[in-house]
Structure formats: structure tokens, C-alpha cells
Structure 1
Amino acid sequence: MGKLSNQEVLQKLTTRFGEQISIPVEPFGLLTFETGKENISEVLSFLKNDETLKFNYLTDITAVHYPEKELSIAVVYHLHSLSNNVRVRIKVFLESENPQIPTATSLWNGANWMERETYDFFGVNFIGHPDLRRILNVDDMTVFPMRKEYPLEDPNRVDKRDYFFGR
């Protein structure tokens, strides 16, 4: 049970996908890279099924909202190769108006609820998902609560004025 290095994983990815893999970094030793939504299914399948890599465990699927960016929704995948004891993070950036990405449920059954949660909180539509509906919020909710679209506090509240705190 040998450990692969991040450089070996990145080398196999760039050999296979070339320019479709971009901005590789290693924050805190975790290999992180970006790809496009049109490539994500193929990249995930390659990482899972490659005889050397064996990223057979999907740790998490989530999203992050960056309201200042043009492609403001980032869908983030965390994969773990149990036999090689190495992890990777994959980011796919989407537009905030009707964000869509292919589902990973064909590769991992556990992706089902992770994608439902990401849909519920960020509004990401996973194309091909067998049962994409809200999982934690009420069904008739019309907003996605983890998006940073609304101010955190009411600007008209008078009890939050600086002069109450000696500023």
C-alpha cells in the first residue's frame, strides 16, 4: 500500500486531459485543480477507474458561492484513494443563473444525497440525478440559503450603531 505523490497524480491527469486540467495548487498538501463542467464526468471516472490512482471514495460534494466572480458558483468534489492514501479536490465553476453540471451518481451511489444537499442550499442542478429535490429545507422554498445574495443584517437597525459602542 504505497502512497502516490501529488506530482504523480497531476502527471497522470495532465497526460490524459492536458489543458482541461487547470490551476493546480497544493494548499496544505491537498492537490487541488479546476476543470470544466463538460469534462467533470470523464475526469471523475478516470480518477476512480484508473488502475494506479484508484480514487474509489467520494468524500464530499459541496459548493461555494463567490458573488464577486463572473462564474460565481464553484462545485467542489473531494476524492480519496484509500489504497494509495492520497486525496484530491476538484473545482468546477458555474454561472449563478441556472447552474448545471452532470451528476456523479452513476459513479458513486453516495453522491445522491450530497448532490441533493448542494442543490438544496446552492441551487446547482445536477443533470441526470435520479431524484433531485430538496432534502433539508421545505419544498416550497424559493431561495437558496447558502448563496451570498442578501445582506447579513438589516442596515436600518439602530441598536447596531457605532456610537452605542464608543466608536
Structure 2
Amino acid sequence: MIFDTVKQLLIEKFGEEVIIAEEPNQKQPALIIKADLIADVCLFLRDHPQTWFDFLSCLSGVDYGVEQQKFGIVYHLASIIKNHTLVLKIATENNRDEENLPSFKSISAVYKAAEWHEREAFDMLGIYFENHPDLRRILLPDDWDGFPLRKDYKTAEQYHNIKIDL
């Protein structure tokens, strides 16, 4: 099983502290990775001949809720050549202050597709990605207030004096 292989390879390369937790019994088994190592882990898994995770199929931002004060990212990796998949997760605590955005390292240097995925997570959830080449809004206007996928987001009533009717 690729899950066990990846787990062992990561521990050998980065030490046991790289894996914070694991979710092996899910439909899509996941490893919860130390957030500071995500770019290094993705590069290693992309280039290792046993894994060759050459495709980032999805990157999603997660708001775990006001009570938990936590944000995360879920990475869905795939190997087209080897025909296997893996889910990686990272998380950080954050006080939800829009002046202090949750921050993670960008993996756009590893997977070019991450540029767009990370911009969407930034736009919708206010998650900042260190070393992203062009981190700006992608779906909403540049002057939009707030981050609509946050659990505590208050829907705007107007935008430039135009009533927003949901």
C-alpha cells in the first residue's frame, strides 16, 4: 500500500516529527504533516522514484471553525505514472484577525498548478502563502472586504452602492 510506503519514506528522510498524525482508515487515507515542511515533503514525494507524485490534483483551504481557531490546507497528490494517490494535510492555529492571516509555505515552486489553488484559498479564506509568486485575489474584486468561505464571514449588503441580494 502506497500510504505505508510514503509514511516510511518520509520518516527516513525527515524524521518521525514530520508526521503529526495519520488518517489511514478513510476513503482517501491522509497524513497530517508538520506545516513548515510541506514544500520539502511535496518536492521529495514528487521526485522520489517509488512515489513520483507528479500531479497536484487539488489544494483546498479549510476553516475548522471559530471555536477551534484553526485553518488548514488539504493537498491531493497523484502519480499518473504509478497510478496511486495520497492526501496530505497541514494546519495552524490563528486568532481569525484579518490583520494576522494564517500562513503556510507555498508549494507553487513544486507544482505550478498550486499558484491558482493557493490564490483561491487566499481569496476565499484569507490564507497567506509564503513565497507565492503572485498572491492576489482571483475570484473577487481586489477591494472586496473579508473572506467569504470563513465560518464567521458576514455577507456584505452592498458593493459600490449596489445592493447584494442573496
Which range, TM-score by smaller chain? Answer: 0.7 to 0.9
Shift of 1:7: 1.6
Superposition CA RMSD, Å: 1.8
**Partner in structure 1 of residue 53 of structure 2:** 55
- CA distance, structure 1, for counterparts of residue 32 and residue 12 of structure 2: 15
Structure 1 counterpart of 2:158: none
1:104 is aligned to 2:103: no
Aligned position for 1:143:
146
Q: For residues 138-164 of structure 1, what are the alpha-carbon distances to aligned partners after superposition, in whole Å with 9 as ceiling and x for unaligned?
A: 111120000101479xxxxxxxxxxxx
User: How many percent of aligned residue pairs carry the same amino acid?
Assistant: 32
Q: Distance in 2 between matches of 1:109 and 1:151?
A: 33
Deviation of 1:6 after TM superposition, in Å, equals: 2.0
Cα distance in 2, alignment partners of residues 138 and 124 from structure 1: 17
Q: Could you tell me how far apart the structure 2 residues matched to 1:150 and 1:118 are?
A: 15
Count of residues paired in the alignment: 148
Which residue identity does 2:28 align to in structure 1? L
TM-score by length of 1: 0.81
Assess if the C-alpha contact under 8 Å between 2:17 and 2:34 holds in 1: no
What's the TM-score, normalizing by structure 2?
Answer: 0.81
* d(CA) in 1 for partners of 2:27, 2:64: 23
Shift of 1:105: 1.2
The one of 6, 12, 20 equivalent to 1:9 is 6
Tell me which of 96, 120, 123 is aligned to 1:120.
123
53-62 vs 32-41, which moves further = 32-41
* Structure showing the higher strand proportion among its residues: 2
Shift of 1:130: 1.1
Q: Is the 8 A contact 2:147 2:153 kept in 1?
A: no
Which ranges in structure 2 are unaligned for 5 or more consecutive residues? 95-99, 156-166
After superposing on structure 2, the runs of 4+ consecutive aligned residues of structure 1 that deviate more than 4 Å are none
**1:80 — aligned with what?**
78
